[in-house]
Amino acid sequence: MKSILTCLCALLCVVSTSAQIALTSSGYSNDFDSYIGTEATMPTGWTAVNTNFLGTSFGTDFVGGNYAYGTGGDYSLGGLRSEAQTNIGYTATFVNSTSKIITDLEISFDFEQWRYSNNSGITVSSSLGDVSNLGQPVVAAGGMNGMATIISKSVALSNLSLAPDATFTISFTWNDEIGTNNGFGIDNFTISSIILPIHLEKYGLSQVEDQLMLAWSTSYESNNAHFTVEHSLDGRNFQTIGRIESQKDRSGEKDYAFFHESPIRGINYYRLNQFDLDGTKTSFNILSAEYKGKGDRFLYPTATDGQIFLSGVEDGNMDIFDATGRKVVQLPYTRGRGLDVAEFEKGIYYVIIGSERFKFVKI
């Protein structure tokens, strides 16, 4: 029994633990000035690998363990790997407390070098993915006692899908040769986040009979008020053509669709926007689709230096635009009659009549 208790104590006493850090919409930062090298002053959510807390130091100490490096109330979360004290490091555990999905994070801190005598540094890892760029793998050897170097480190993580209440860790490990005296500190640690009020599962565009349909679904929504759909003929200039309210009363995956009843023949561009309850707007990727029109409606010939004709098109007003979007002419159209374009400049033109759009080249 005594041996079992001894083993349990060894497992439990290696690590000093504390609660999770709530990552809010405003992010998280810690300058560690309230840490004075004691277990009682360990920052919330941070775990020390080593249990030997040795107070404050200015880099002149050579006993291995955890230190608050600095002076005059300006401290860093530090440690010295020396002799028997070979396991030095810290882990921070975070929980997404934003109530929204986090898509991007930026992590930064200042690496401080307080004491060194060989080529070593720290490595950084995270359950989120590769953050190795935060590490400082090599520090110049020497006999400095006292802070010699501050190196600012940062990394950006994107394409995340960190759900509300999900947790992640960031770990710092001191690398050293056994028996040497390398002291490093972590200071001014900051995490900033980008959050979205919804998570899109599906988002697509297709032609359904004589209409174009923009369809999307969400697996998560928070504070979502409504969506708007914008339409464009050139992918640059958009106009709002619809509004869809949030399905606030439904849980789980939510399906949405918007039908554009009067698209223009040819390429149509659409953009989906989402609005929070406070009016904050988020825009999603622009989608495009070719609308082939209703039935057998077409312009011929598509390249000419004489006349153009329309087939299957009802009478109406005809607008002709050049490739820059400038309206060249507007005139009434009567079925069966051709339009003489011999006097047009050479180039690409678009004919718009009703909801139909056609293209021809003046040669």
Instruction: Break the chain into its structural domains and give their ranges.
Output: 13-196, 198-291, 298-362
CATH topology of domain 298-362: Immunoglobulin-like (2.60.40)
Within 13 Å of residue 324, how many CA atoms lie on the same side as its CB? 4
Contacts 24+ apart (CB under 8 A), 330-334: none
**Mean pLDDT for the chain?**
84
Within 13 Å of residue 322, how many CA atoms lie on the same side as its CB? 10
What is the CATH code for 198-291? 2.60.40.10
What is the CATH code for 13-196? 2.60.120.260
Read off the pTM. Answer: 0.59
pLDDT tens digits, one per residue of 309-353: 887 777 888 888 887 777 788 888 887 788 888 889 888 888 888
Residues in contact with 112: Cβ distance below 8 Å, sequence separation at least 6, in sequence order? 69, 76, 78, 147, 149, 150, 184, 185, 186, 187
Within this chain, domains 198-291 and 298-362 share the same CATH topology: yes
Query: 226: burial class by Cβ within 10 Å (0-12, 13-18, 19+)?
Result: middle
What is residue 6's predicted lDDT score, i.e. its pLDDT?
A: 38
AA letter at 202: K
Between 174 and 149, residue with greater pLDDT: 174
pLDDT tens digits, one per residue of 246-257: 987 556 788 898
Residue in 38, 35, 117, 124 with CA at minimum distance from that of residue 82: 117
What is residue 16's predicted lDDT score, i.e. its pLDDT?
A: 44
Residue in 93, 97, 108, 96 with CA at minimum distance from that of residue 43: 93
Q: Is the pLDDT at 234 greater than 60, yes or no?
A: yes
Dihedral angle of Cα 288, 293, 297, 301, to the nearest 10 degrees: 0
- In order, the DSSP letters of 181-221 are -EEEEEEEEEEEEEEESEEEEEEEEEEETTEEEEEEEEEEE
Mean pLDDT value across residues 6-24? 57
